Amino acid sequence: PDASTTVAGSRFRYREEQLSPAGGRAAAKMAKNAAIPPEKLRALVEAGRLPKPGGGPSAEKRAASAFTALALARAADGSAAACGLSGGDPGYDETAKMVAEAALCLVAEERAELPAAARGGSGVLTPAAALGGVLERRLGGAGAG
């Protein structure tokens, strides 16, 4: 969906998209699943139609999974930037690496290099804004991205 708002006195536009090999059917299924009430989810788990907590995909299935994310940005002056991230199973393996490395950024010796630390703190931030290049280096070292 497109969203527009005013940020720092300038017009800001945002759009997010998801590509799916099933021609949109996967996205529709994800949206439908997100709307399932908790009691219905519990019933599906109890009926064996969904995995129990802790009963996720096998190591073989995770090893065969992968993801790619691409971010594109264009400024009002026409300049543009792009960055990408890819890795193995996003639901378990890569998420665990990302969470662990983000936590280590907050306690490791390079904490003083964090963008938020340089500004003296900044409220609620995204991981990229708060942890910047420190997180990028740590994720690269952990084989994520």
CA distance 33 to 144: 28
> What are the pLDDT digits (tens) for 43-98?
988 998 888 887 778 889 999 999 888 888 888 888 999 888 888 898 888 988 88
CA distance 8 to 38: 40
Secondary structure (3-state) at 83: strand
Cα–Cα distances in Å, from 80 out to 17, 18, 72, 74? 18, 20, 7, 4
Cα–Cα distances in Å, from 48 out to 4, 41, 131? 43, 11, 41
Residue of higher predicted confidence among 58 and 30: 58
The pTM of this model reads 0.57
